[in-house]
Amino acid sequence: MCGGMAAKGPGGPRWWQNRRARLLCMLALTFLFFVVEVVVSRVTSSLAMLSDSFHMLSDVMALVVALVAVRFAQRTRATKKNTFGWVRAEVMGALVNAVFLTALCFTILLEAIERFTEPHEIQQPLVVIGVGVAGLIINLLGLCLFNHHGVGGHGHSHGHSHSGRQHPRSGSKPEQPPGDGEAALHREETSTLVENCSSSNGVSQENSELNNHRSNDMADLQVNGNAGHYPMDVEEVEEDSSAQLNMRGVFLHVFGDALGSVIVVLNALLFYGLWNPCPKDGPCFNPCVNNHCMENATLSQTLGGANKSEQESITVAGPCWLLYLDPILCLIMVCILLYTTYPLLRESALILLQTVPKQIDVHSLNSKLRTLEGVEAVHELHIWQLAGSRIIGTAHIKCPDPSTYMMVAKRIKEIFHDEGIHATTIQPEFASVGSESGRGKCEFPCRTQCALKQCCGTGEDSTAKKTEKSSSLSISCSEVVIEFPKTRRTKSESIPSVKLEANADQNEQFESSL
């Protein structure tokens, strides 16, 4: 059932629907079950059922969050509001779900502690068992649906992305992991490319053509002309990684719910089997329920009375430890959930914090760049992960003159490429005449007052005093401004400034397929 659900045929824009379809399917099921549970609880007037149904509702909310994130993340075009597109939405969705789950764990914990102090009996255990089993089935189904994005994850490392392998184009990729989402996804990618462009290169999520220009003569790595030569892992990693986070969030929610259902069913079964309830008629003594004020009185009364006369007709409510089973199991469940949620929380938080992805070593990158011939200094080196395998880097490279820079520019990009950083912005800086000492300093900082507003302002300290060979990783723009006019060497050559008026027909839509 799961496999059949997930593995759709190749072709057609269904790869993304795969994720969406699963989410929608689960959403519908869960909501339906929630409604059923509410109705049943009203019919049987069981409060426990009603409160359990709201666990399903929290599931629904988590699914909605994930769906919204998936919808957003498909819009990878740059817009006026977001120059990167919305690819990060899934990471945020994952974080929101993880925090939501943590909060729910917290409330379950509180409830469990409350139950310790005031144990409840389960009323109508049969009904509870019935509905609990139904809920468990639905949750197991959900687990199945989202299994690939399970707790361990695929374990795809980003290291695949830059290996530069070339795979023969084929309709189906035999080396794909079984199941589905990813395979169908890639098939869709390739077929999209084939449909729209004669010579397609790379992969895209949109149906537009790839401009097949080459920026430099990296012929060996160029894959132009051969439609579809692209490393499959690239797509896989990309789609997997950030989508994976999102789906993991959903999976954890469903998992938590499943655990909850298991506990409910187990508890109800044991209760049904072992509990000796108080019959409605006849005296009954329940030793498990603490009632300070009346406890001792009742106890002595009933026992005293019983000792004298019919002892056997006093029923004592069943083994007390049963009442404590529920909170204990809940505690265990909370621990399990927290333990499995924490990695997701950490991962998505690290991406959102603009940290360096864990497979990249900035120190070695820095040293590689600096040892290039023609590179005098490297500063403001920033690497961060947008989402998935899209890693972005910026750096300021100081070179003696423009022609040197031309020579090393390709090498620089290669070095970044080897690390898996493909979107880079390299700013060349040329040493101003006569400022040999200014090696470590940024040639183009903003004004002095802006130092604190810069991304790497000198709020901490001005590390610009260090030279390029220092161990400091990146040197912030100095507060001491190198007077900009000095670097203007254009007095001798006047540049014709071609002034063109802004054309009225500017396209308002800064849309691009990304």
Find the binding residues for other proteins in span 219-238 (CB under 8 A): 221-225, 229-231, 234-235, 238
Q: Which residues contact 166 (CB under 8 A, 6 or more apart)?
A: 223, 226, 229, 230, 231
Q: From the CB of 358, what's the least distance to other proteins, in Å?
A: 8
Q: From the CB of 81, what's the least distance to other proteins, in Å?
A: 6
Q: Does 1 bind other proteins (CB under 8 A)?
A: no
Task: Provide the pairing of β-strand 377-387 with 390-399.
Answer: antiparallel
Q: Does 342 bind other proteins (CB under 8 A)?
A: no
- The tokens for 170 are 């084929």
Toward other proteins, which CB reaches closer, 195 or 310? Answer: 195
- Give residues 362-401 in contact with other proteins (rule: CB under 8 A): 362-363, 380-384, 386, 389-392, 394-396
Binder to other proteins among 21, 209, 227, 298 (CB under 8 A)? 209
Q: Does 214 bind other proteins (CB under 8 A)?
A: yes
Binder to other proteins among 213, 308, 309, 373 (CB under 8 A)? 213
- Give residues 289-318 in contact with other proteins (rule: CB under 8 A): 292
- Give residues 129-168 in contact with other proteins (rule: CB under 8 A): 161-162, 164
Q: Does 110 bind other proteins (CB under 8 A)?
A: yes
- The tokens for 134 are 């139904």
| Contact yes or no for 335/108 (Cβ under 8 A) | no
Q: Does 76 bind other proteins (CB under 8 A)?
A: yes
Binding track over 6-45 against other proteins, x by CB under 8 A = ----------------------------------------
Binding track over 481-510 against other proteins, x by CB under 8 A = ---x--xxxx--xxxxxxxxxxx-xxxx-x
Q: C-alpha distances in angstroms, 56 versus 37, 135, 277, 340, 393?
A: 9, 9, 29, 20, 42
Q: From the CB of 411, what's the least distance to other proteins, in Å?
A: 10
Contact stretch for other proteins (CB under 8 A) within 28-36, 141-149, 333-341, 413-421: 413-421
Q: From the CB of 56, what's the least distance to other proteins, in Å?
A: 11
- Give residues 243-282 in contact with other proteins (rule: CB under 8 A): none
Q: Cβ–Cβ contacts within 10 Å for residue 297, how many?
A: 10
CA distance 371 to 362: 14
Which stretches does DSSP call E strand in 209-297? 284-285
- The tokens for 472 are 């400091």
Q: In angstroms, how far is CA 305 from the centroid of its own chain?
A: 65
CA distance 237 to 207: 20
Binder to other proteins among 9, 28, 106, 321 (CB under 8 A)? 106
Q: Which has the closest alpha carbon to 239: 70, 469, 12, 35? A: 70
- What burial class does residue 146 get, using C-beta atoms within 10 Å of its C-beta: 0-12 exposed, 13-18 middle, 19+ buried? buried
Q: From the CB of 193, what's the least distance to other proteins, in Å?
A: 10
Q: Does 468 bind other proteins (CB under 8 A)?
A: no
- The tokens for 465 are 């005093």
CA distance 47 to 121: 12
Which stretches does DSSP call E strand in 3-90? none
Toward other proteins, which CB reaches closer, 281 or 460? Answer: 460
Sign of CA dihedral 367, 372, 377, 382: negative
Contact stretch for other proteins (CB under 8 A) within 4-12, 134-142, 201-209, 258-266: 201-209
